[in-house]
Structures are given as structure tokens and as C-alpha cells.
Chain A
């Protein structure tokens, strides 16, 4: 019950739906439709795992007064208050859609406010920090130490110049060569990599279906 039934479900489901692709009979099609309709419902509950883990982690931190424990409130308060406000003040659940969904810009709900003015700026700014680090890396780590490294460097410089309009001013051929690199040698390299990934994906799928790969079972209730 603990391991063999889930493994059997995976195997039967996997084989059944693989066959369904090749033999789209009316019955198998109905089964397929049920599956695609139910999957998001089942998947939605998986969020409980994330919420539970976050709550446990941060409430423990607060209880034990661990380092920087005060910040755990910054996780827990929005975690529970945002869904609450979304339900009691559902101005809109579409991010910024104040007017379009019948709302009014002046009466922005807490939900939208938190999304647009806290979540969006914070996430966007955190990602943009990478611009500074890549500049620093360009200066400190990007070395033409060998012939291969020089090729990498040259390719990068040409593509970079090819992508910005000023590149064309510096040399008419920059955009052309830049695009050529992207469309041919880059493509060759990426195709080889993606074929490798593709075979890997297929092998993993088969291994899971046939129960060779069982890591997904986790350790619960061993």
C-alpha cells in the first residue's frame, strides 16, 4: 500500500496514456479529458505543502528566537493576510486590473497594492542586481587564457555588439555576423545539448513509469 500501489498507479497511468496517444479511441479520449480536467484540481492542493513548510519553518524560527527571527513575521503575515484580503476585498485578482474588471484605481485593494507595489518592485529589483554582478564578473573572471576561451570571448563580444544599434555604427558587419553566429554555430551547439537533454528526459520518463526511478516517493512513512 505504501510503495507498491503508488508505483503501480504510475505504471498503469503511464502506459495507458502512452497508448492513448497512439490509439485515440473515444473511451480513451474520455479518460484523457477527465485526467486533464482533474489534474489542476489535484495539483492545486500541492500548494498546501509549500504553505505548511513555510509556516513550520518560520514559526519555529520565531519560537526559538533564531537569528533574524523578526523577519519571519514578514513571511507569515503576508502569507495569511493576502489570501484573507483577496477574499474579503476582492477588488481584482488580476494584478493591476483596476478599471477593466470593474474596479476603481482609487480604491485599490490590499491584495493588488501588495502585488503591484511590493512584490513586483522587490522581485524585479532583486533580479536586476545580477546586472552589477555580471559587470564585475566581466572585469574579474572573463579571461582569454586559452584559444577556446578566446573564441568564447570573441563570440560574446560580437554578439553583444550585434544586438545593440551602436554596434552597426562601429562596423556594419557586427549585426550580420552576430546573427550568423546565433543562427548557425550557436544553433549547432544548442541542438546537440538539447538532443542530450531530450534523450535524458525520455529516459527519466520511462524510468519513472517503470518504477526504476523512485526518488519521488520520498521518505514519508518508510
Chain B
């Protein structure tokens, strides 16, 4: 057995070990290289930057835990941006497990332990203010302050349930749900996941159907995102933005060029680009998970390329491209 053959027949567990090391060690020796946002991501950021409390958007958690490492940072980043700008957000999910993912994202953004969070105000907690007839965001906050509430030190602001956020969750046959919401959101979601009637929410009163919505961001690990285009964009012209896994991202450049989506976050890189924009514009204090992850990605990509090159050298140097047949474990 030649050295090349031995090399190509190496126990694959050594390769597993190598990739494991390449993904662990860089966490302790960060390179800190800058990430330059691409136009595909900047356009989503700019779009949300132009929205305010009078607008409203949907964020679809259309992925399962399997792709959470890529999709979750996107969802969190977009929500953080929307919360900071007081843009009312309706949160939906394409699958039951996606509803759990959405819950975890909200939890992360409202968890004081993170040191950079939004203070969540329960629906019941601000009932008195609603009873006084306040429905405008600025009035609600003013009344809330007047009631003796102060913003905790590390909190960026308040999120009033029903004014800033409506967690609608999952429904089956979601593509038909999108269609249904083009006529009326409440016909599909009579209540939010906590059982609060949607019709009582001030944000619903201002935005009763998808026609009143300014943007839908779908963070997806499957072709679920395309349903938003087919049934939302093509039916009523709803502006759509994608946050998709890297595996799917290359397929969806067609929708950017055709103008069917306003932009796309592709994989961890896309999420890291959005996080960079948030960090640069002071929407968060620390780099997010995707940004840190991309630092590790550097070494892993180099290792994979090295493995491809090495494999080819061994293959051609050993003459396996000609007659010699490679034997042994594959």
C-alpha cells in the first residue's frame, strides 16, 4: 500500500477529530476580523431602519431546532432592531417546534441576565393604562412612567405586550394562513399564544390584515420561506425579507434579483452581517453569537479547503485517476 493510498484510507475519525479541534480552538484565540455587510443584508437593515411605531412587521420563525444555530441569530437580530425602534411585531411560526424557537428568541431578548435586554411588560401589567384609553406608543410609555415605573439599568426600553409585540405562534397549513391573513389576521389567530384576544390589542386595531403590514421577515430552515413570497408577496404585494440557512441561500438569489424579496441573510454569515450593523449603530453592546461564530468559521473553512486539496494531491499523485483502483475502507 503506497503512502497515498494509506493517506486516503485514513480512519475518518481522525478527520472528525481535526474538524472538532478546528471548531473549538479558535474560540480561545479569536482573530477579531471585521465582517463587511453585503448589500443583500444592508437593504433589510435599512428597510427596518425606516420603520417606526406607526408601521408593523411580521417575523416568521419558520425553522426547527435543527437549524437554530443559523436561523436563531437572524431572528434575534431582526427582533432586537424592531424592538429598539418600537416597530410593532407579530410573531408567527410555520411548525410547532418553530413556535418554541420564537419563544426562546423573545426570552433571550427580554432576559435581564444578558445585560442588554428589553423589559417585557405583560398584557395584564399595563391594563390600567389601556383602561384609561391610551393606545399610542408614546402615550402608553408616558403613562407607564407616570405610574412610577423606571427603566432598569441595563434595559434598552419596554416592550408592551399587545402594543409592541403579539406572539401569534403556529398554525397548520401555514401557506393558507398567510392567504387568510391577507383578509384578516384575527380570522386566523383569534388570540395570541397566551390566550389574549387579538382584537383587544392596540397593535391589531392599527393593523388588521397583512395589507396593513410593512414587512415580513421569514427566518427559515426549509422552503417555508417561499410560501411568504407566493402567498404574501404575489397576492397582496407584501414586502418580504429572507433569513435562510446557508444550504438554501444560493437558491434564493433569484428572488432578490427579481425584486420579490428586499434582501436576504444567508447562513451564519448573513446573521453576523446583521449583528455587525446593529453593533455599529449602537443597537447592542456586545457582538452576537453569529459574529463570534464567524470568527471560528475562518479556520474551519481553511481546514476544509486544505482537506480538499490534500485529498486531490493524494488521489492524483497515487495515480488513482488512471488505472490503479483505490482499495480499502471508503
A47, A175, A182: most-surrounded residue (chain B CB, <10 A): A182
CA distance A97 to B308 in the complex (A): 44
Nearest-neighbor residue (CB-CB) of A33 within chain B = B183
**Are the CB atoms of B110 and A100 closer together than 8 Å?**
yes
Q: Which residues 294-315 of B have a CB within 8 angstroms of A?
A: 294-295, 297-305, 307-308, 310-312, 315
A47, A93, A98: most-surrounded residue (chain B CB, <10 A): A93
Is B107 interfacial (CB-CB < 8 Å)? yes
Is B194 interfacial (CB-CB < 8 Å)? yes
**Are the CB atoms of B257 and A33 closer together than 8 Å?**
no
Residues of B within 8 A of A81 (CB): none
Nearest-neighbor residue (CB-CB) of A126 within chain B = B66
**Are the CB atoms of B107 and A99 closer together than 8 Å?**
yes
Would you give the 0/1 interface string for A39-52, flagging 1 where the beta carbon is closer than 8 Å to chain B?
11001101100000
Is A124 interfacial (CB-CB < 8 Å)? yes
Given contacts A40-B188, A95-B101, contact A140 B111 (CB under 8 A): no
Residues of B within 8 A of A186 (CB): 250, 253
Give B309 Cβ to nearest chain A Cβ, in Å: 9
Given contacts A33-B187, A95-B103, A131-B23, contact A124 B65 (CB under 8 A): yes
Give the secondary structure class of A's interface.
helix
**Are the CB atoms of A164 and B301 closer together than 8 Å?**
yes
Given contacts A93-B99, A120-B68, A165-B33, contact A100 B253 (CB under 8 A): no
Is B138 interfacial (CB-CB < 8 Å)? no
Given contacts A95-B103, A96-B103, A119-B65, contact A145 B321 (CB under 8 A): yes
State which of A36, A46, A128, A142 has its C-beta within 8 Å of the C-beta of B188. A36
**Are the CB atoms of B103 and A39 closer together than 8 Å?**
no
Residues of A within 8 A of B304 (CB): 134-135, 138, 160
Given contacts A102-B122, A142-B311, A165-B34, contact A187 B253 (CB under 8 A): yes
* Total chain A interface residues with beta-carbon distance under 8 A: 66
Is A53 interfacial (CB-CB < 8 Å)? no
Would you give the 0/1 interface string for B51-94, flagging 1 where the beta carbon is closer than 8 Å to chain A?
00000000000001111110000000000000000000000000
Select the stretch in B126-134, B171-179, B200-208, B212-220 that faces chain A.
B171-179
A98, A128, A157, A165: most-surrounded residue (chain B CB, <10 A): A165
B interface list, Cβ under 8 A from A? 8, 12, 15-16, 18-20, 23, 31, 33-36, 38, 64-69, 97, 99-104, 106-108, 110-111, 120, 122, 124, 161, 167, 169, 171-173, 176-177, 179-180, 183-184, 187-188, 193-194, 250-251, 253-254, 257, 267, 269, 294-295, 297-305, 307-308, 310-312, 315, 321, 330
**Are the CB atoms of A36 and B180 closer together than 8 Å?**
yes
**Are the CB atoms of A140 and B8 closer together than 8 Å?**
yes
A-B contact pairs, 25 of them (CB 8 A): A33-B187, A36-B188, A39-B177, A93-B169, A95-B107, A97-B104, A99-B110, A100-B120, A100-B161, A102-B122, A115-B100, A119-B97, A124-B69, A135-B307, A138-B304, A138-B308, A140-B12, A140-B330, A142-B308, A161-B305, A166-B33, A166-B302, A168-B36, A187-B253, A187-B254
**Are the CB atoms of B187 and A36 closer together than 8 Å?**
yes
**Are the CB atoms of B107 and A163 closer together than 8 Å?**
no
State which of B8, B103, B311 has its C-beta within 8 Å of the C-beta of A92. B103
State which of A44, A92, A143, A153 has its C-beta within 8 Å of the C-beta of B172. A44
CA distance A221 to B315 in the complex (A): 56
**Are the CB atoms of A164 and B294 closer together than 8 Å?**
yes
Is A37 interfacial (CB-CB < 8 Å)? yes
